[in-house]
Amino acid sequence: MEPARLLRISNMARALLAEIRALPLDEHARERLRHAHARAVEEIGHAVGPELREELERLLPRTGGPFTEAEARILQSQLVGWLEGVFHGIKAELSLRQMTPRKPTDPTPR
């Protein structure tokens, strides 16, 4: 897993979500968003392991044409939410690792 890469993609996805919430989207903007969304999903697939990649593929619908404004907002929100869930999972795993006692190392004979 590449957390730094995921963080960059997540920041981009959040910024796009803020933009599409604030502005009306014409057909050209929706098409551009579709390409950006597909590219982000592809990049995420390269940054995570097979299990998370398969989960993301199951959650995101396949669409061939431009999104409606509502679809664009929903898909982008879904992607941002999924990424936030991944980050929460990473944080939880790190916390558990810190709380788990480590095995003592074998003492070396003196």
Question: Rounded distance, CA 77 to CA 67, Å?
Answer: 14
Residue 80, pLDDT > 90, answer yes
Most confident of 62-66, 78-82, 95-99, 100-104: 78-82
* The predicted structure's pLDDT at residue 106: 62
* The predicted structure's pLDDT at residue 33: 87
Give residue limits of the domains in the chain: 3-99
Q: Return all residues near 4 (Cβ < 8 A) that are at least 6 apart.
A: none
pLDDT per residue as tens digits for the range 7-26: 899 999 999 999 888 888 88
pLDDT-derived band at 81, boundaries 50, 70, 90? very high
Amino acid identity for residue 18 in this structure: A
* The predicted structure's pLDDT at residue 109: 63
pLDDT-derived band at 72, boundaries 50, 70, 90? confident
Q: Is the alpha carbon torsion for 52, 85, 5, 73 positive or negative?
A: positive
Residue 39, pLDDT > 80, answer yes
Residue 50, pLDDT > 90, answer yes
Supply angle C-alpha 72, 76, 81, rounded to 5: 150
Question: Rounded distance, CA 45 to CA 30, Å?
Answer: 22
